[in-house]
Homo-oligomer: A and B are copies of this chain.
């Protein structure tokens, strides 16, 4: 059974091709025509071919979405909200992640372009890669960059880690901690860089030497577990940990458990990021959180804005603020024991 086309509808309604198209696009037609055509459409169960429409209108109603790893709950939440927001506007998401043995970022961008997506949402790896910059510059349509600071070149949505981590660190310092360890990946791009900056700033604002704090650049869980273990076994172990959510946090928890340390008695802990389980953990983990829905909404707003305003509008940068959710994983450091071992 062949697909039903606009031609079939025209024949069925006894009108011309163009007239059916007019009805489809809500152009002014006579009532009689409208009814005949609608009747034919209903009878045949016709739905216009999106491909053919796109071909003519140069608009696919598809948005390319490139995130490093959709199985990362952070990105999953974003994509979910993006999907819901975009389908409200009649768009559909095309999703792709770069893979080790598969397509690279650049290849995915090229493929999106070939498929004529109307816009691009990308959480790229690098902040400086010239090839990436060039590919994005060449891209024909609105772009929103997530989680990397591309200065004034593109619309960007960023989580404001700096003030958040600063507040978290300040909180730990106010409890009496001095040797705090910050575990974060990506210290050479926005997320890590801002976290480190906030971390240092908290020390500085109290007149403390920021070198008291340890920064542990992290990538994998296994590394995290091993590194935390090593850190906790050192001569002057930290009394508090600030760990980015996900595998770094779970890795840290493994290390803490294997050393038999108690939270918060022996070690205070704050999570950067607040997935569901962090709040029900034993003890409930104090966390830095931000509004993912707002992040996604801002992304969509930027995408559609530059869609309409033409290319004239200058790139914007939206910062998503964070707040610290106090729970039960932080306490003053075990001063006595520390004092003994310190003298």
Contact = CB atoms under 8 A, between A and B. Distances in A.
Interface of A: 3, 47-52, 54-55, 60, 62, 65, 69-73, 76-77, 79-81, 83-84, 87-88, 92-97, 99, 101-103, 110-111, 113-116, 140, 247, 250, 253-254, 257, 275-277, 279-282
A71 B62 contact: no
Contacts of A52: 55
Given A69-B80, A80-B70, A92-B111, A116 B50 contact: yes
12 contacts: A50-B114, A65-B95, A70-B83, A71-B73, A71-B76, A83-B97, A87-B103, A88-B101, A94-B94, A250-B280, A281-B281, A281-B282
A96 B87 contact: yes
A342 to B, nearest CB: 29
A45 to B, nearest CB: 9
A115 B77 CA distance: 25
A250 B247 CA distance: 19
A279 B113 CA distance: 42
Contact of A88 (B65, B102, B280): B102
Contacts of A113: 47
A79 B70 contact: yes
Taken together, the copies of this chain in the complex come to 2
A65 B93 CA distance: 10
Nearest to A253: B280
A257 B277 CA distance: 13
User: Which 10 residue pairs across A and B have the least CB separation, nearest first?
Assistant: A71-B80, A76-B76, A282-B282, A277-B277, A253-B280, A50-B115, A50-B114, A95-B95, A84-B99, A70-B80
Contact of A280 (B70, B84, B95, B257): B257
Contacts of A276: 247, 250
Nearest to A101: B88
Nearest to A112: B92
Nearest to A83: B97
Contacts of A47: 110, 113-114
With a 10 A CB-CB cut-off, give which of A3, A51, A93, A110 has the most chain B CB atoms: A51
A296 to B, nearest CB: 11
Contact of A51 (B55, B69, B73, B282): B55
Contacts of A97: 80, 83-84
A72 B103 CA distance: 25
A115 B96 contact: no
Given A70-B79, A71-B80, 10 more contacts: A50-B114, A71-B79, A72-B76, A84-B99, A87-B103, A88-B101, A92-B111, A93-B94, A93-B96, A257-B282
A87 B181 CA distance: 40
A51 B111 CA distance: 12
A94 B87 CA distance: 12
A32 B114 CA distance: 27
Given A51-B55, A93-B96, A250-B276, A76 B87 contact: no
